[in-house]
Amino acid sequence: VLSAEDRKLVQATWCKVAPHLDDLGGEALSRLFLCYPQTKTYFPHFNLSADSKDVHQHGLKVAKALDGAIKHLDNIRGNLAYLSDLHAYNLRVDPVNFELLAKCFHVVLAIHLGKDYSPTVILAWDKFFHCVGDVLCEKYR
Ligand code: ZNH
C-alpha cells in the first residue's frame, strides 16, 4: 500500500517526466520486447521492430492508463477496472509479464529522472507498479 509520502513522490516524479509522456510507454515496451522476447507473443499483429509506430502508439495507451491511475492514487482499482477485465478475459496475459514491464518502466524512469531516481522514489514506484499489477490480475482464476 502506498503511504501518503509514496503518493507524493510518484506524482512529483511523474510530473517531471510528463513532458515525455508520448515516448515513455514506447520506450518501456521496446525494452520489454528486447530484454524479454517471449513477451512479443502477445502482439503477433504488431510490427515490433525498433521505432515502430505500433509500439509507439501502444506505449502511449499504456502511459495514459498509468497517468490516469497516478492522478487517482486513492482509487487505482476503480481507475483501472476496465483494464482488469480486458487483460484477464480477452488478452489472458500471464501475470509474470506485469513484473517484467514494471522493470522496464523502472529503467525508463531512471534514465529520465537521473539523480531524482532516489531509493525512496524507487520504492514508491515499486509499490505503485505492484498495485497496478494486482488490479490487472485480480480477475484471473
Ligand atoms: Zn496491456 C492493451 C494497459 C501490461 C498486453 N494494455 C492495453 C491497453 C491498455 C493497456 C491501456 C489498450 C486498451 C484499449 O485499447 O482499450 N497493459 C496496460 C498497463 C499495463 C499493461 C497499464 C501494466 C502496467 N499488457 C501488459 C503486459 C502485456 C500486455 C505486461 C503483455 C506482455 N495489453 C496487452 C495486449 C493488448 C493490451 C496484447 C492489446 C493490444 C492491441 O491493441 O491489440
Please report the pLDDT score of residue 50 as a whole number. Answer: 78
Give the Å distance between the CA of 127 and the centre of ligand 1: 20
Give the Å distance between the CA of 40 and the centre of ligand 1: 12
Task: Give the span between the Cα atoms of 77 and 122, in whole angstroms.
Answer: 21
Please report the pLDDT score of residue 122 as a whole number. Answer: 98
Q: Which residue has the cell 480477452?
A: 90
Band (63; pLDDT cuts 50, 70, 90): very high
Dihedral in degrees, nearest 10, Cα atoms 99, 103, 108, 113? 110
Q: Average pLDDT, stretch 101-129?
A: 98
Q: In degrees, to the nearest 5, what angle opens at C-alpha 76 toward C-alphas 70 and 32?
A: 70
Query: How buried is residue 90: exposed, middle or buried, by Cβ count under 10 Å (0-12/13-18/19+)?
Result: exposed
Band (75; pLDDT cuts 50, 70, 90): very high
Q: Average pLDDT, stretch 75-96?
A: 93
pTM of the predicted model, to two decimals?
0.96
Pick the atom of ligand 1 nearest to 64's CA.
11
Band (8; pLDDT cuts 50, 70, 90): very high
Identify whether the C-beta of residue 121 lies closer than 8 Å to the C-beta of residue 69.
no
